[in-house]
Structure 1
Amino acid sequence: MSPAPTAEAPPDNSISTATLNPTGQIFVPVAPGGEAGGATAASIAAAPTDTATLASSPTPAPPTATPEPAFPAYTGPPLDRDKIGLQIYLHRQDVRDLLRHFEALDIGWVKVQVSWKLHEPRPGEYDAQLFEELDRLVAGATGQNVKVLLSVSKAPEWSRPVTEMDGPPADYGHFEAFMRLLATRYAGQVAAYELWNEPNLQREWNGSPLSAADFVALMRRGAAGVRAADPAALLISGAPAVTGINDGVSAIDDRVYLGAMLAAGVAEVVDGVGVHPYGWANPSDSRVADPTQVTGSHNNHPSFFFLDTLEDYRAMLVSAGADALPLWPTEFGWGSFEGLYTPEGAPAAPPAGAEFMAETSEYEQAVYILRAYELAHERAWVGPMFLWNLNFTAALGPEFQEVGYSLLRFDGSRRPAYRGLEFRGE
């Protein structure tokens, strides 16, 4: 995830029951339980309410999940399952439940973050539980014809010159060895590896000055490890964060950083270029150059706009002669805290730094996500696109901004974006 500069107090930005996006595409709301082509056998139903009573003493009904609100029906061209990806939280989750979600949403890809420092806490020693969880997920997904992308970053403390925050190892050979281990273990099962995450941020590259050239050197070693064990696996460059910050210390602007990656030869290393085209609170079709902006903050820099980021990156690849490489949006999404509640039952609010999420309703979140997939499908140079995220509400509380992006609420009920994806094209 990218850091969020402090936003202004956002205005109310509610929408009507039928939303017209900037291109004229109409998303028609579908009532809860209404027909959108009919639910499939894989649909994940909300918990039923027990209305039975005893003659002698009434028994209160058990609590139910949050009622499902209306959701937008996708009416655009068919979306290719093989380009629909989703990032999940895996630790201590029931893989069978995750697989049911994959089936309900009919996704072709799943992304899992592999924290190297947790998987190899000491040199040559590996966390058995974490690898067993990963084994089950990889086996289950591949058995369900869902391709797996493993995103690997965060060097162990024993390999780094400093232990604060996260960053690369002092010896890039350690990264090569760990990637070789992963590719050996999952040869023929894991379809792709993303080499690192948001390396233009100090918090992800601490211990060394921010440097795209050094990052490309690290990826060369990681790529060598994968290709030695599984030459068929695809390699995707770690995506820079979109921040609007370019101070050279806390962050380097993502466009500047990508240009330096291209100059350092990243096109020779990978099969696809990672990109994180977050939209903040801006609609999918909007651009920084629009004469009128509909949001109250994060609207004055191209890094805050989904479509600007995609098309700017593509233009840079074409200019560098690397247009054969597809863009892989390995994270994207819109955050909303509507429908999320604290453990005490009070409506949750976006945490400090994520106030912009208050400008996006759950319904708008769904509209923007569906439209983003449609826009990406219109561009042949965009590869699989991974929505952030399915279920970080299973691990984090309302004080974390990550939960605003989740498709599932804290009680496990499905948000409108989930249901819009579930019934797309039906």
Structure 2
Amino acid sequence: MKLKRKLLMGLPRRRRRVAVLLLALSALGIAQIYPRPVDDQVPLGEQRNVETAKPLVCVHTLLENEVDEAKIKRSLELTRELGAATIVQFFPWAYAEAEQGRYEWFIADRIARHAKRQGIRIIARLGLVPAWARPSDPAAPPTTLNFLPEESFADFARYAAAFAERYADAIDAVIIWNEPNLSFEWGFRPVDPAAYARLLRISYPRIKAANPAVQVLAGALAPTREQAGSGAGLNEFDYLSAMYQAGAGEFFDALAIHTYGYHDSPSAEPNPDRLNFRRAELLREIMLHHGDEHKPAAITEFGWNDHPRWTGAVRPSQRSAYTVQAFEYARKNWDWAENLCLWAFRFPADTLSYPDNFTLVSADFTLKPIYYAVQDYARGWARSEDTWLPPPRAG
């Protein structure tokens, strides 16, 4: 500090002011990159428990980019009040280990402590590659945050194990990557089921050694009709089959599945050439074919959209009805599904486009009609298996 003061005093007055400003901004930038945890910045409140009649009900939260801790708390309070005892939540590796070997758990800590206080369990999705773990050749094309080179598989496994150990009292499961059957999610490269199987082979034993009780989920495969050779990805059926052929079956405890309804009702028959809710049953058939009938699955993304101008959407009333019917269909017919997690609970900021119409709660915490429909179902308040919406509330 004394040396800095001497250097500043040797500068002309105007330049001295500029230097002071730059130092202040530099300090602010460092603080933002490496935030220091402050316990209980927002009071946690009393310990709560989720009251639910339908433990299958789960939602996908997006709290990793929520800068206001009070909004994290409020999101999880509303999740508890909905009747969802489990959430899927993304924990980016790039946020936790921006500098190799130096973990910063501030973001994950505050999500975990508020979830625990609300009585909510977490399925943790892990991914997003820090810059130091991606290729650094300046002559090579730049890579995206989803680009995980094989030489960094062990680094990712180390992070996943550290995460699983640190949050053993908050998480039930970890998902290894997200939608690796899409080129975008695999770093804008050709998808590679064998490489993903090797990632599981390296990660699984380390995670289980760190936290033997945690469930390791593979897949989180996107529903798509892409065929081999497509630059966009590969359909989830061929991808899962290739994973098994590469030996992945020994290195996951359950399969994570993404399935969206689009225009179809939840009872519509599954078909490889059609995207709909029951498409998940075709993935289950592949699991059975490979002798994995003992393994469960988790639907970690599903839902319908009600944007008035998006081609994949339905009407708002249909969305509410289809969602409740999907929960009930799975409860009665999918004894292998441990959770059905709606995409998505709430975005930190409105996108001003069709993704907003997947949410149950708007960015300003306005509860949408579908929130009440799911709440009535999850809490056992519905008068029948059909969707029942309460009368309009005054005020």
Q: TM-score, normalised by structure 2?
A: 0.75
CA deviations 1:245-267 (Å, max 9, x no partner) are 22443211111101111222322
1-side partners of 2:265 and 2:303: how far apart? 11
Shift of residue 115 of structure 1?
Answer: 1.9
The letter for the 1-side match of 2:239 is Y
Q: Which has the larger radius of gyration?
A: 2
Question: Is residue 416 of structure 1 aligned with residue 369 of structure 2?
Answer: yes
2-side partners of 1:184 and 1:410: how far apart? 32
Which runs of structure 2 are paired with 1:2-41 in the superposition (5 Å)?
none
The letter for the 2-side match of 1:123 is Q
Question: Is residue 334 of structure 1 aligned with residue 304 of structure 2?
Answer: yes
Specify the alignment match of 1:202 in structure 2.
183
Specify the alignment match of 1:132 in structure 2.
106
The letter for the 1-side match of 2:245 is A
Task: Report if the CA contact (8 A) 1:188-1:230 is conserved.
Answer: no
Task: Report if the CA contact (8 A) 1:155-1:169 is conserved.
Answer: no
Shift of residue 80 of structure 1?
Answer: 5.2
Task: Report if the CA contact (8 A) 1:267-1:325 is conserved.
Answer: no
Task: Report if the CA contact (8 A) 1:279-1:305 is conserved.
Answer: yes
Specify the alignment match of 1:149 in structure 2.
123
Q: Mark the runs of 5 or more structure 2 residues left unpaired by the alignment.
A: 1-47, 136-141, 382-395
Question: Is residue 89 of structure 1 aligned with residue 42 of structure 2?
Answer: no
The letter for the 2-side match of 1:313 is L
CA deviations 1:267-304 (Å, max 9, x no partner) are 21111111101112221111366xxxxxxxxxx923x1
Question: SS of the residue aligned with 1:191?
Answer: strand
Specify the alignment match of 2:144 in structure 1.
164
Which runs of structure 2 are paired with 1:62-101 in the superposition (5 Å)?
81-90=54-63, 91-93=66-68, 94-101=71-78
Relative to structure 1, is the Cα distance of residues 209 and 388 closer, same or farther in structure 2, using a 3 angstrom cutoff?
same
Task: Report if the CA contact (8 A) 2:57-2:84 is conserved.
Answer: yes
Task: Report if the CA contact (8 A) 1:160-1:170 is conserved.
Answer: no
Task: Report if the CA contact (8 A) 1:88-1:110 is conserved.
Answer: yes
CA deviations 1:93-140 (Å, max 9, x no partner) are 4232123212211112011112222332231234x4xx3232122122
The letter for the 1-side match of 2:59 is L
The letter for the 2-side match of 1:301 is D
Shift of residue 332 of structure 1?
Answer: 0.7
Specify the alignment match of 1:191 in structure 2.
172
Shift of residue 235 of structure 1?
Answer: 0.7
Question: SS of the residue aligned with 1:397?
Answer: coil
Shift of residue 170 of structure 1?
Answer: 3.2
2-side partners of 1:165 and 1:173: how far apart? 17
Shift of residue 356 of structure 1?
Answer: 1.9
Specify the alignment match of 1:117 in structure 2.
94
Shift of residue 374 of structure 1?
Answer: 0.9
2-side partners of 1:134 and 1:81: how far apart? 27
2-side partners of 1:119 and 1:403: how far apart? 27
Relative to structure 1, is the Cα distance of residues 251 and 384 closer, same or farther in structure 2, using a 3 angstrom cutoff?
same
| 1:232 aligned residue (199, 203, 213) | 213
| 1:356 aligned residue (312, 321, 330) | 312
The letter for the 2-side match of 1:194 is I
Shift of residue 208 of structure 1?
Answer: 5.0
Question: SS of the residue aligned with 2:325?
Answer: helix
| 1:370 aligned residue (311, 324, 337) | 324
2-side partners of 1:204 and 1:422: how far apart? 32
2-side partners of 1:219 and 1:123: how far apart? 21
Question: Is residue 221 of structure 1 aligned with residue 202 of structure 2?
Answer: yes
CA deviations 1:7-37 (Å, max 9, x no partner) are xxxxxxxxxxxxxxxxxxxxxxxxxxxxxxx
2-side partners of 1:116 and 1:207: how far apart? 19
Task: Report if the CA contact (8 A) 2:182-2:234 is conserved.
Answer: yes
The percentage of aligned residue pairs carrying the same residue is: 25
The letter for the 2-side match of 1:181 is A
Task: Report if the CA contact (8 A) 1:167-1:203 is conserved.
Answer: no
The letter for the 1-side match of 2:304 is W
Specify the alignment match of 1:384 in structure 2.
339
Larger relative CO (CA 8 A, sep 6+): 1 or 2?
1
Task: Report if the CA contact (8 A) 2:131-2:145 is conserved.
Answer: no
Question: SS of the residue aligned with 1:167?
Answer: coil
Shift of residue 223 of structure 1?
Answer: 1.8
Q: Mark the runs of 5 or more structure 1 residues left unpaired by the alignment.
A: 1-41, 43-78, 290-299, 339-348
Shift of residue 173 of structure 1?
Answer: 0.6
2-side partners of 1:207 and 1:402: how far apart? 22
Shift of residue 327 of structure 1?
Answer: 1.6
Task: Report if the CA contact (8 A) 1:362-1:415 is conserved.
Answer: no
Shift of residue 317 of structure 1?
Answer: 1.1
Shift of residue 148 of structure 1?
Answer: 0.6
Specify the alignment match of 2:273 in structure 1.
301
Structure with higher helix content: 2
Task: Report if the CA contact (8 A) 1:148-1:191 is conserved.
Answer: yes
2-side partners of 1:243 and 1:276: how far apart? 10
1-side partners of 2:95 and 2:160: how far apart? 14
Q: TM-score, normalised by structure 1?
A: 0.70
Question: SS of the residue aligned with 2:263?
Answer: coil
